[in-house]
């Protein structure tokens, strides 16, 4: 091969090698560029270090231990109000009303219980006769006894209890209650092994102490919140709750916490959560718990005798008398009498309006709360000495202490409580038109706010019945049929027996609603009517 041929061959090989090298470089560059573009398209961060989750570590605090300690002792309570609906006659909810009400039923008061007092539930008497609601409670005895609020179970036809982590619903019965402190004792008897909470001493509680609330707000079981004791001795209830001087706390409590425990940092029960201060029905930083010392006193009386007994001398007073009043009547302290119950212990002893009570059993009386506390703790039937100032003269009067619920029998809390059993025992009767009706007892009229004479309560309406078709609703009060007065279930049955298919039937009922100005319950007439079918 000639020199020139070899040279041409070397140049060809060099060019081929160069072309191959360039091709490899272009290919690698294309791949790198594509990868970079793909990485950018995926939002990657090549300079970031991946995070690593460490092994779980138990961080123990006093609140953690407290929650674990109390969890088995705090229960969720579901109360059913009104008769259980049957297949033949189910109580229908009104249009737009919920099936279930959790605790606070609204109202215009700033201070609200967590659970409505209306015996039929709902907002100012407009909700259905049958309803359910939830609250809380705390186990205080391994034999099944549970402390809660009366307003959680008051008037309930069925009470059921659930424990955290246990899906079983345990039937409970009401052992006893006290309307003045809003305390109730219920019991389950299913043999479940119970863990009672440890009772503390609310007298030792100080403002600024830690406080923990456990309960079922809005039905969420075993909810734990913490705060401090904001104040003691709060009076929020007015005349009906004269004996209640609450512990105030900022631990978050909401509808459903009612009846649950307020605890100190040691896990001891120092109160029973009872009320909230709110403008919208929810937590706004202020809650109130009944001191456990008062609740225990009530509990012990209930489990011992089945009822709570307190002394009274039958006098009324204003809690905010000005110093000038006492000065005019010759006193520097005491209780200025504004009311004397006719026939009560004070009346019999000679106490009169405008007297100033300055001493009870020889000990000076500071104010009305002091007098009520000491008299209510005095055994009923025992003798007592009351010192009064009348016209500047000091007088010592002797009296016999009476039973508070009897002396003040007409007070709202006692009147409602007195008719409670009467209302429970009155059962409904199914009648021809597809109605379940009840006679209106005095207690039922009082709770409904219905002061007219006559009528029967419509407790339920059968689906698809004549009554439903013409627009009769649960909680209407039936006053007349075809202009014939209905004063009892017997009257209704007598009138319907004379009617036959094809007859025109006109009801006159009274129906509750709110007035447009004051927000009070008003009863207005309605006249549902129709032609009686073959099968009404």
List pLDDT tens digits, range 3-21: 555 656 666 666 666 566 6
Return the pLDDT at 29: 58
Under the banding of pLDDT at 50, 70 and 90, the label for residue 336 is very high
CATH-assigned architecture of domain 63-310: Beta Barrel (2.40)
Higher pLDDT pick, 3 / 327: 327
Return the pLDDT at 313: 94
Return the pLDDT at 417: 55
Q: Which of 258, 376, 405, 512 does the annotation list as catalytic?
A: 258
Return the pLDDT at 126: 33
Under the banding of pLDDT at 50, 70 and 90, the label for residue 112 is very low
Average pLDDT, the chain: 79
Alpha helices, DSSP H, located in 265-355: 292-305, 323-328, 345-349
> For residue 268, what are its two tokens?
């001891």
Return the pLDDT at 2: 57
φ, ψ for residue 417, nearest 5 deg: -70, -35
Return the pLDDT at 86: 40
pTM of the entire predicted model: 0.62
Out of 119-128, 441-450, 517-526, the most confident range is 441-450
Give, in degrees to the nearest 5, the angle at Cα 171 between 181 and 457. Answer: 70
The two beta strands, 183-188 and 145-149, are: antiparallel
CB 121 within 8 A of CB 133: yes
Under the banding of pLDDT at 50, 70 and 90, the label for residue 74 is very high
Return the pLDDT at 18: 59
DSSP three-state, residue 283: coil
Return the pLDDT at 106: 32
Return the pLDDT at 514: 53
Identical fold, 63-310 and 314-400:
no
Residue 81 has pLDDT above 50, yes or no: yes
Q: Mean pLDDT check: name the lowest of 10-14, 112-116, 444-448.
A: 112-116
Give the residue extent of every domain in the chain.
Answer: 63-310, 314-400, 419-531
φ, ψ for residue 149, nearest 5 deg: -90, 145
Mean pLDDT of 462-470: 85
Rounded CA-CA distance 311/346 in Å is 12
Higher pLDDT pick, 313 / 425: 313
Mean pLDDT of 83-92: 39
Across-strand partners of 485?
Answer: 480
List pLDDT tens digits, range 352-409: 999 999 999 999 999 888 898 899 889 999 999 999 999 889 999 999 999 888 887 7
DSSP three-state, residue 312: strand
Q: Mean pLDDT check: name the lowest of 30-44, 164-178, 499-513.
A: 30-44
CB 79 within 8 A of CB 67: no
Q: Which of 151, 154, 216, 264 does the annotation list as catalytic?
A: 151
Return the pLDDT at 388: 95
φ, ψ for residue 64, nearest 5 deg: -60, -50
> For residue 60, what are its two tokens?
């123990």
Mean pLDDT of 139-151: 95
Residue 204 has pLDDT above 70, yes or no: yes
Mean pLDDT of 122-139: 62
Return the pLDDT at 54: 86
Share of the chain above pLDDT 90, in %: 39
Q: Which long-range contacts (CB under 8 A, 24 or more apart) does 349-353 make?
A: 349/313, 349/386, 349/397, 349/398, 349/399, 350/397, 351/313, 351/315, 351/386, 351/388, 351/397, 351/399, 352/390
Q: Mean pLDDT check: name the lowest of 141-145, 180-184, 259-263, 276-280.
A: 276-280
Mean pLDDT of 297-314: 91
From residue 144, alpha-carbon distances to 187, 256, 346 in Å are 5, 21, 42
CB 185 within 8 A of CB 173: no
Rounded CA-CA distance 178/413 in Å is 10
DSSP three-state, residue 487: coil
Rounded CA-CA distance 208/214 in Å is 19
Annotated active-site residue 258? The verdict is yes
List pLDDT tens digits, range 397-418: 999 999 888 887 776 666 555 5
Q: Which of 101, 104, 118, 182 does the annotation list as catalytic?
A: 182
Share of the chain above pLDDT 70, in %: 74
Annotated active-site residue 182? The verdict is yes
Does domain 419-531 fall under CATH 2.30.42.10? My reply is yes
Mean pLDDT of 449-467: 86
> For residue 355, what are its two tokens?
């007297």
One CATH from 3.30.70.870, 2.40.50.140, 2.30.42.10, 3.30.365.10 for 314-400? 2.30.42.10
Residue 302 has pLDDT above 60, yes or no: yes
Rounded CA-CA distance 353/314 in Å is 12
Return the pLDDT at 100: 33
List pLDDT tens digits, range 210-268: 999 999 888 788 789 999 999 998 877 555 556 778 899 998 888 888 999 999 999 99
Burial of 181 (0-12, 13-18, 19+ CB in 10 A): buried
């Amino acid at each position: 091969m000639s020199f020139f041929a070899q040279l041409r061959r070397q140049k060809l090989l060099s060019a081929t090698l160069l072309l191959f090298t360039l091709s490899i470089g272009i290919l690698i560059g294309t791949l790198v560029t594509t990868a970079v573009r793909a990485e950018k398209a995926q939002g990657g961060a090549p300079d970031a270090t991946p995070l690593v989750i460490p092994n779980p570590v138990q961080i123990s605090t006093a609140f953690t231990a407290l929650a674990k300690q109390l969890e088995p002792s705090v229960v969720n309570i579901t109360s059913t109000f009104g008769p259980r609906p049957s297949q033949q006659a189910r109580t229908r909810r009104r249009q737009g009303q919920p099936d279930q009400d959790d605790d606070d039923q609204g109202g215009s008061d700033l201070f609200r219980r967590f659970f409505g007092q209306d015996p039929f539930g709902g907002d100012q008497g407009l909700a259905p006769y049958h309803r359910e609601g939830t609250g809380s409670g705390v186990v205080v005895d391994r034999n099944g006894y549970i402390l809660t609020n009366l307003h959680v179970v008051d008037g309930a036809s069925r009470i059921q209890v659930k424990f955290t982590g246990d899906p079983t619903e345990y039937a409970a019965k009401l052992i006893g209650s006290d309307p003045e402190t809003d305390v109730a004792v219920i019991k389950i008897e299913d043999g479940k092994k119970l863990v009672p909470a440890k009772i503390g001493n609310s007298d030792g509680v100080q403002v600024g102490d830690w406080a923990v609330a456990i309960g079922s707000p809005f039905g969420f079981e075993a909810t734990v919140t913490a705060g401090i004791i904001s104040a003691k001795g709060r009076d929020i209830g007015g005349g009906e709750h004269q004996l209640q001087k609450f512990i105030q706390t900022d631990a978050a409590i909401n509808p459903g916490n009612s009846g649950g425990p307020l605890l100190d940092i040691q896990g001891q029960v120092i109160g029973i959560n009872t009320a909230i201060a709110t403008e919208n029905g929810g937590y706004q930083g202020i809650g109130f718990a009944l001191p456990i010392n008062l609740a225990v006193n009530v509990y012990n009386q209930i489990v011992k005798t089945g009822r709570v007994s307190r002394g009274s001398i039958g006098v009324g007073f204003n809690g905010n008398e000005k110093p000038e009043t006492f000065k005019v009547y010759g006193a520097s302290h005491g209780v200025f009498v504004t009311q004397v119950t006719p026939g009560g212990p004070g009346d019999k002893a000679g106490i009169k309006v405008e007297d100033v009570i300055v001493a009870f059993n020889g000990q000076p009386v500071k104010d009305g709360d002091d007098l009520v506390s000491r008299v209510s703790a005095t055994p009923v039937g025992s003798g007592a000495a009351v010192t009064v100032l009348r016209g500047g003269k000091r007088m010592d009067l002797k009296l016999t202490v009476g039973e508070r619920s009897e002396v003040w029998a007409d007070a709202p809390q006692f009147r409602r409580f007195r008719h409670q059993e009467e209302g429970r025992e009155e059962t409904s009767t199914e009648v021809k038109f597809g109605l379940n009706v009840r006679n209106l007892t005095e207690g039922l009229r009082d709770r409904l706010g219905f002061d007219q004479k006559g009528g029967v309560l419509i407790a339920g309406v059968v689906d698809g019945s004549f009554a439903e078709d013409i627009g009769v609703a649960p909680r209407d009060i039936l006053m007349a049929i075809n202009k014939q007065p209905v004063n009892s279930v017997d009257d209704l049955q007598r009138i319907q027996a004379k009617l036959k298919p094809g007859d025109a039937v006109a009801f006159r009922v009274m129906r509750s609603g709110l007035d447009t100005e004051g927000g009070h319950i008003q009863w207005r007439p309605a006249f549902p009517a129709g032609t009686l079918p073959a099968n009404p």
